[in-house]
Chain A
């Protein structure tokens, strides 16, 4: 609580703008670049507000040790790690309870969309490294990993688009930043969907929320996810369109 008088800041002012000048249904600025790691099968660099994330996908490749192999489908090995310098106080680089939980739920979100049955006995490794974080890093990690998977050419039913919704100061907000997450009545609800079917593949929540607020939050979240999906699509297509236009210049 940065406020000296111990008063809650005004999370949404009379003009309907938030602490950082965003509207209630507006996400932070998102920048996605695909294919950044030459040695990975697929990769993605993402900036989401202050969050900076790099994701690399390797595989499908032989799952080792052999007892982890599943002859009916491939395994998804999602590894979420925060760099020690990604938070204000140094984070112990040893994977903690939180890293392991996020790795598990994010991996399960991707199990829903990848055609795993095409790659028996194989493993698909997704490594996500958080270089800088400011609330909502797990949804950013999912968004980046989804682009990296598509960049690796792994067959998928759909992309996975994710966004966090929540409550601060009695208002339902999209994509909370750290200040809003620290509100006394804060609710944080990360969600990930398959955009074409609106199927929810990840939904977590902490805090107290009423049923009406929950419905409103889900609606706002779905709309925001669709916007994230458009950005993912553009990032993947950009690379090929760029190559095309540079080619045309060369011919002239």
Chain B
């Protein structure tokens, strides 16, 4: 499987293929719209971007941070162009500014403003970030990469499509290094095997027990 690096305006395919993301067609040919990788053997002409901001898509799970409480709801920053509004009608628990929540994008209107639902608060933990376009690499094929990372660092991880990663417990410093490594090498192949090797060379140093985290989460349910 050979992948080709393209810049905006470069030819992706001369054939009439189904078009995916970050491409546009002109005079029957398909061109790239951003810097990214092209797989010429794929039946879909698309570019996997190497840089870019998060654009909300329906059914994405994202990590949001509560910005402020208003009379009828909460403003939640989901790292898109606009903060999202969560109505108190749909979510009857109280949230404090600065609290971390994982939400599902339910709908997007024509100005890319996202309607959110399925709110879950993430108690404690840390939020790490990665370039949003590299999130698929962090998860891997059917979650393979994420499994490797969870096993390697012993952390609880929730990956948001917006490039925010909520983590708790385990070896967070090792996890930060692993994420940095994925970010730098996202355009290379066989990354999952490389990460497996990375965790063999750098075993996790656990200071905080996972059991404690689980009780924290249970307590949260009754709050």
Residues of A within 8 A of B (CB): 41-42, 59-62, 71, 113, 115, 118-122, 150-159, 194-197, 232-233, 236-237, 240-241, 243-244, 247
Contacts and interface: CB of A to CB of B under 8 A. Distances in A.
B74 interface: no
B31 A196 contact: yes
Given A60-B81, A150-B35, A237 B5 contact: yes
B9 A156 contact: yes
Interface stretch (B115-123, B164-172, B180-188): B180-188
A119 B81 contact: yes
19 contacts: A41-B51, A59-B53, A60-B53, A62-B82, A118-B55, A120-B111, A120-B112, A150-B35, A153-B53, A153-B133, A155-B34, A157-B8, A158-B31, A194-B9, A196-B10, A233-B10, A237-B7, A240-B5, A243-B188
A119 B53 CA distance: 11
B33 A121 contact: no
Contacts of A150: 7-8, 34-35
Contact of B81 (A61, A152, A240, A243): A61
Contacts of B7: 150, 159, 232-233, 236-237
Contact of A241 (B5, B22, B51, B81): B5
Q: Name, among A71, A153, A233, the residue most crowded by chain B CB atoms within 10 Å (CB to CB).
A: A153
A159 B53 contact: no
Interface in B125-139: 133
A158 B26 CA distance: 12
A119 B112 contact: yes
B9 A244 contact: no
Contacts of A62: 81-82
B148 interface: no
B15 interface: no
Contacts of A156: 8-9, 33-34
B24 interface: yes
B185 to A, nearest CB: 6
Contact of B184 (A157, A196, A243): A243
B64 interface: no
A82 to B, nearest CB: 28
Nearest to B81: A122
A74 to B, nearest CB: 9
Contacts of A247: 185, 188
A195 B9 contact: yes
Q: Name, among B7, B8, B35, B110, the residue most crowded by chain A CB atoms within 10 Å (CB to CB).
A: B8
Nearest to B197: A251
Q: Name, among A59, A120, A232, the residue most crowded by chain B CB atoms within 10 Å (CB to CB).
A: A120
B174 interface: no
A242 B51 CA distance: 16
Interface in B93-127: 110-112
A22 to B, nearest CB: 27
Nearest to A156: B8
A147 to B, nearest CB: 9
Contacts of A240: 5, 50, 187
A71 B113 CA distance: 12
B52 A157 contact: no
A41 to B, nearest CB: 7
A153 B50 contact: yes
B179 to A, nearest CB: 16
B81 A121 contact: yes
B188 A244 contact: yes
A61 B55 CA distance: 11
Given A158-B9, A194-B9, A240-B187, 6 more contacts: A115-B24, A119-B81, A156-B8, A159-B9, A236-B35, A240-B5
Given A121-B111, A233-B7, A240-B50, A154 B34 contact: yes
Contacts of B5: 237, 240-241
Give the 7 A-B CB pairs with smallest separation, nearest first. Answer: A153-B52, A158-B9, A153-B51, A156-B8, A155-B33, A120-B111, A196-B9
A112 to B, nearest CB: 12
